[in-house]
């Protein structure tokens, strides 16, 4: 299929596995393989290797390649694997080439290291990575990589293999303007977090990326199912019981967006390990609150389809 056809069929939820580390912070590929194999038994539209939740920026290029290879092997053809890249033009291009060789089906480009890039320099960064691979490209607009609708159009003109846009700003007004200006030229994905699912589906994204997929795959799929059906009554019930309490805990400290997910996984008996610096692991008092919340999440892991009643 063409790159655009590939992007058009990605609907629902992207599984977003963490990258497990051992206590000495070395890469734990055995744990990654176990986790991805279990996650891939659920019907995600794709699996993302070494993305933001996968701590891309704490990995070396060799480790990214190993993570992508292990993820592709564990998925075993059940869904496409999207590989993250970033850093700078040279490293980003190198990682993209390695990911293609490791079996990735698409590349997710995170922002470059420099936070005050002029448009010409920012575009050159994306173009360098795009020129390194024939794979479909997805751009992750997060943090300082902020775009206007016209910038997205100009970048799409320069990148023939750009097929999708992952929003990480959470500004639905801006995202809706970008989508309206560019139409079906790109596939549109929500990428800031599970807690933004109602806003994302309200403006018409076709999929979202879920860190909750690590601990409750069925919940993330049900959130997307309700959102795509525009069943906001059901979606809001799921959000209120499961998502908002977790995200309130994740907001207690910087870096908890990954650390809290890894701690929750450990509570549920899933291998995840610590986070690498500059992130920090959860404090004991926060883990105690997570343990109480995971008791509620046990009902999510039991049921095949969630119906939350007031």
- CATH number at 147 reads 3.20.20.70
Q: Which stretch of DSSP H or E encloses residue 300? A: helix 284-302
How far is residue 61 CA from its own chain's centroid?
A: 19
Residue 139 resides in a domain: yes
Residue 179 resides in a domain: yes
Q: Which stretch of DSSP H or E encloses residue 95? A: helix 89-101
User: Looking at residue 33, what DSSP letter applies?
Assistant: H
Torsions phi, psi for 207 (to 5 deg) = -165, 165
Residue 247 resides in a domain: no
Q: Give the mean pLDDT per block of 10 residues along the chain (310 residues).
A: 94 98 98 98 98 97 98 98 98 98 98 96 98 98 97 97 97 97 97 97 98 97 97 97 98 95 97 97 97 94 51
Active site residue 140: yes
pTM of full prediction above 0.75: yes
- Give the model's pLDDT for residue 309: 38
Q: Report how far residue 208's alpha carbon sits from residue 227's, in angstroms, rounded to the nearest whole number.
A: 10
Q: Report how far residue 57's alpha carbon sits from residue 278's, in angstroms, rounded to the nearest whole number.
A: 10
Give the residue numbers spanning the domain of 198. 3-229
- Give the model's pLDDT for residue 303: 59
Sign of the CA dihedral with 235 first, then 250, 70, and 134 last: positive
- Give the model's pLDDT for residue 301: 79
Split into its structural domains, the chain has a count of 1
Which residue in 125, 126, 166, 208 is the catalytic one? Answer: 166
Residue 31 resides in a domain: yes
Nearest to 139 by CA among 104, 193, 92, 98: 92
> What's the helix, strand, coil split of the chain in %, to 5?
50, 15, 35
What is the chain's Cα-based Rg? 18
Which residue in 140, 247, 256, 297 is the catalytic one? Answer: 140
Torsions phi, psi for 103 (to 5 deg) = 105, 10
Torsions phi, psi for 243 (to 5 deg) = -80, -50
Active site residue 166: yes
Q: Report how far residue 183's alpha carbon sits from residue 188's, in angstroms, rounded to the nearest whole number.
A: 9
């Amino acid at each position: 299929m063409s790159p655009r056809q590939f992007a058009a069929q990605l609907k629902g939820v992207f599984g977003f596995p963490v990258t497990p580390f051992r206590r000495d912070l070395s890469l734990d590929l055995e744990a990654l393989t176990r986790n991805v194999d279990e996650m891939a038994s659920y019907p995600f539209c794709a699996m993302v290797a070494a993305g933001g939740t996968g701590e891309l920026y704490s990995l070396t290029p060799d480790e990214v390649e190993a993570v992508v290879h292990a993820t592709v092997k564990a998925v075993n053809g059940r869904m496409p694997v999207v590989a993250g890249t970033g850093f700078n033009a040279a490293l980003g291009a190198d990682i993209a080439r390695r990911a293609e060789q490791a079996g990735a089906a698409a590349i997710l480009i995170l922002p470059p290291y420099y936070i005050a890039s002029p448009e010409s320099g920012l575009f050159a960064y994306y173009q360098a990575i795009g020129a390194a691979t024939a794979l479909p490209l997805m751009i992750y607009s997060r943090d300082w990589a902020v775009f206007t609708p016209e910038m997205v159009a100009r970048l799409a003109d320069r990148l023939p293999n750009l097929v999708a846009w992952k929003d990480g700003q959470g500004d639905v007004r801006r995202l809706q303007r970008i989508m309206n200006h560019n139409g079906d030229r790109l596939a549109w994905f929500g990428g800031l977090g599970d807690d933004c699912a109602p806003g994302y589906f309200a403006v018409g994204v076709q999929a979202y990326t879920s860190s909750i997929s690590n601990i409750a795959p069925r919940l993330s799929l049900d959130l997307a199912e309700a959102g795509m059906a525009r069943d906001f009554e059901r979606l809001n019930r799921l959000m209120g019981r499961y998502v908002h309490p977790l995200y309130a805990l994740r907001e207690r400290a910087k870096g908890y967006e990954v650390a809290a997910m890894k701690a929750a996984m450990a509570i549920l008996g899933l291998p995840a390990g610590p986070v690498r610096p500059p992130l920090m692991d959860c404090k004991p008092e926060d883990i105690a609150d997570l343990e109480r919340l995971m008791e509620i999440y046990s009902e999510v892991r039991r049921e095949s389809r969630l119906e939350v009643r007031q």
